[in-house]
Amino acid sequence: MPPTLPIFGRATEGTGLGIGDYLSDAARAVPGLHLLADEVVRLGVTGLSRSGKTVFITSLVANLLDRGRMPGLRAAAEGRITAAFLQPQPDMTVPRFDYEANLATLTGPAPRWPDSTRAVSELRLSFRLRPAGLFGGLRGERTLHLDIVDYPGEWLLDLGLLDQDYDGWSEAALARAAARPEGAAFTAAARAARPDAPLDEPAAQALAQAFTAYLAAARAAGYSDCTPGRFLLPGDLAGSPALTFAPLPRGGPSPRGALRREFARRFEAYKSGVVRPFFRDHFARVDRQVVLLDVLGAIHDGPAALEDMRRAMADILGAFRPGRNRWLTGLFGGRRVERILFAATKADHLHHEQHGRLTAILAAMMREAKDRADFAGAATAAMAVAGLRTTVEEKVRHRGAELPCVRGTLLGTGRQAAFYPGDLPDDPARLLAPARAGAAAWLDADYGVMHFAPAPLTLRPGEGPPHIRLDRAAQFLFGDRL
Ligand SMILES: Nc1nc2c(ncn2[C@@H]2O[C@H](COP(=O)(O)OP(=O)(O)OP(=O)(O)O)[C@@H](O)[C@H]2O)c(=O)[nH]1
Ligand SMILES: [Mg+2]
């Protein structure tokens, strides 16, 4: 029997050597040693619903398999990736990310956008790699597995619930609802409820439904914080008691069996039965994270939506802050998420002349979110990306000026159109300051959005679908491990 060397874990820091380098050196030093542990990087991909997760992952994987459009990924540019292939994922009970179906949807003869996805899924992409460096060729190849985990950003925002009890949460949730026009009906229902009356299940359900309807309307209006996350994405928990509660105003001490007491019990059940398992089984195992944000959509929706997105970014960052929550810190067991990328998606709605401004707005939001979340931990970056580029750039003369436009096929009508989304300001504060001050509308500009359809593609061999900056995103997220 050859001796085996059980080595697990990540690349050794500081030496520039990866575990793989070590192992192949060790393997040459110890004859007969070949049972070696492969490296694994777990990449979390999240974002609120419709932020572009499915499109991003599908195109990223296609572009990692065929790397012709990935010059910004160093290992690809240096020709060190000798093979990339999909493999069965390690987690047997997590649904597989349906890469093939999504790719066929996006790049088939009649391309369309993929359907909405509502749960966690996972995909393993493996790389065979030639080591870097002058004498890299002398060392053996190594294997790195990239486990991509797609999960709804709504679930991440639920982390904040773990620190709260029902009373504190109720107060904050009611205040949020009262401040949003979409919350009017629910606020009235909560005020009319009789929290100390004995639980009446139909009344409880009606309140939970009113609360859910408000959250859905707030979500549609562009608000980011619409927790508890499973109220909007219930999956197989729909109708369960853990999802049948709502915030209620504080009264006197609630007697046993009262509506308020029961809602408090269900709130605790939501925390222990829904929130904790997600963080334990998925979140706590992530090494690198990308958070996708539809910043252009939020700008279009107005100041309140942009401000809410900034707050949500702070809450998301807070989830990654070491020591943020004792229970969670215990789960991480000393390790932590090393890199977090905030990516503004759908950048193909903008001429590249405006990409810098979009990135500056995102970066400014990130800086403020970092301050607010008191965040010092992982390396962070902000970038404007498009999973799938659906437009071409074009300058259009308009009232004597040249407008930087994009041209694409309109969703719905199928017509071609040139589109100018508005002039994003040079200085992000021109948007962020009024947003923070609670402005009702943008003063000096109007920002449009347009829905483009994916265009039919003819891909050359070795090329993935057209994208914007997926290579740079990949380099930041895991390029150092390739
Ligand atoms: N133009 C453009 N539109 C995009 C891009 N990515 C996503 N979209 C648009 O955004 C919509 C949502 O994208 P998805 O990838 O399905 O978003 P998701 O985050 O997976 O959404 P859920 O599964 O509903 O949470 C798509 O249907 C497109 O209309 C992109 O790169 N370019
Ligand atoms: Mg999806």
Classify the C-alpha dihedral 315-316-317-323 as positive or negative: positive
If one compares 236 and 189, the residue with the highest pLDDT of the two is 189
Determine which residue's CA is closest to atom 24 belonging to ligand 1. Answer: 116
Residue of minimum CA distance from atom 26 in ligand 1:
113
Range in 30-34, 341-345, 396-400 with the lowest mean pLDDT: 30-34
Q: Is the pLDDT of residue 182 over 50?
A: yes
CA of 212 to the centre of ligand 1 (A): 23
Ligand 1-lining residues (CB < 6 angstroms): 47, 49-55, 113-114, 116-117, 152, 345-346, 348-349, 386-388, 390, 451-452
3 CA distance to ligand 1 middle (Å): 50
Distance (Å) from CA 393 to ligand 1 centroid: 20
Rounded to the nearest integer, the mean pLDDT of the chain is 86
What is the structure's pLDDT at 8?
Answer: 32
Centroid of ligand 2 to alpha carbon of 121 (angstroms): 10
Average pLDDT, stretch 153-177? Answer: 90
pTM score of the predicted model:
0.86
Query: pLDDT tens-digit profile of 101-138?
Result: 999 999 998 899 999 887 899 999 999 999 877 666 66
**Looking at per-residue confidence, does 364 or 23 come out higher?**
364
- Please state, for a pLDDT cut of 70, what percent of the chain lies above it: 91
204's tokens = 């409880």
Give pLDDT, residue 43: 97
Instruction: Determine the residue type at 18.
Output: G
Q: Residue 7: pLDDT band by 50, 70, 90 thresholds?
A: very low
Query: How confident is residue 186, by pLDDT bands cut at 50, 70 and 90?
Result: very high
Summarised one tens digit per residue, pLDDT across range 390-403 is: 999 999 888 888 88
Report the C-alpha gap between 210 and 257 in whole angstroms. 22
Which atom number of ligand 1 is nearest to the Cα of residue 385?
31
Could you tell me if 312 and 157 are in contact, meaning their C-beta atoms sit under 8 angstroms apart? yes
CA of 383 to the centre of ligand 2 (A): 20
Per-residue buried b or exposed e for 140-174, using 16+ beta carbons within 10 Å of the residue's own CB: eebbbbbbbbbbbbbbbbbbbbbeeebeebbeebb
- Per residue in 406-438, pLDDT tens? 999 988 888 888 888 888 999 999 999 999 998
Point out the ligand nearest to the CA of residue 113: 1
